[in-house]
Amino acid sequence: MRDKRASERRPVPENVPVVEETTGRRLGTLVNLSRQGVLLLAERRVAPGTILQVELMLPEPPVALHLGLESLWSLPSDLPGYHWMGCQILSLSDADLHCLEDYLERLPADVP
């Protein structure tokens, strides 16, 4: 299967929680990300097509990113109750985009 991503995804070595802004409820943990999307280990199933407003707290320096996401797919993980979830970034402010790009530059490239 050919990878259709427009930009390289980077693994996230730290434990970065993802919180739904509308409910304050933890959605899951960030696994990898790129300028266009994220992979989460979600604590519940989220149907494809669901639009979410989330906050990620990036470490060093600590900065909160506010992202609009669309769930593209969800698959059960080996952990009971958890799901892998691929999302497209739909919206973020210019300031958050700058912080995201700075963070991505500091992350190692994904190993094939």
- Where do the domains of the chain lie, and which CATH numbers do they carry? 10-106 (2.40.10.220)
Residue 42: band (very low, low, confident or very high) from pLDDT cuts 50, 70, 90: very high
| pLDDT at 1 exceeding the cut of 50 | no
What would the pLDDT profile of 53-89 be if each residue is shown by its tens digit? 999 998 877 899 999 999 999 999 999 999 999 999 9
pTM summary value: 0.86
| pLDDT at 111 exceeding the cut of 80 | no
Q: What is the mean pLDDT of residues 14-32?
A: 95
Minimum mean pLDDT range among 34-38, 93-97, 107-111: 107-111
At 56, the amino acid letter reads L
Residue 70 phi/psi, 5-degree rounding, is -120, 125
Two tokens, residue 32:
């990898």
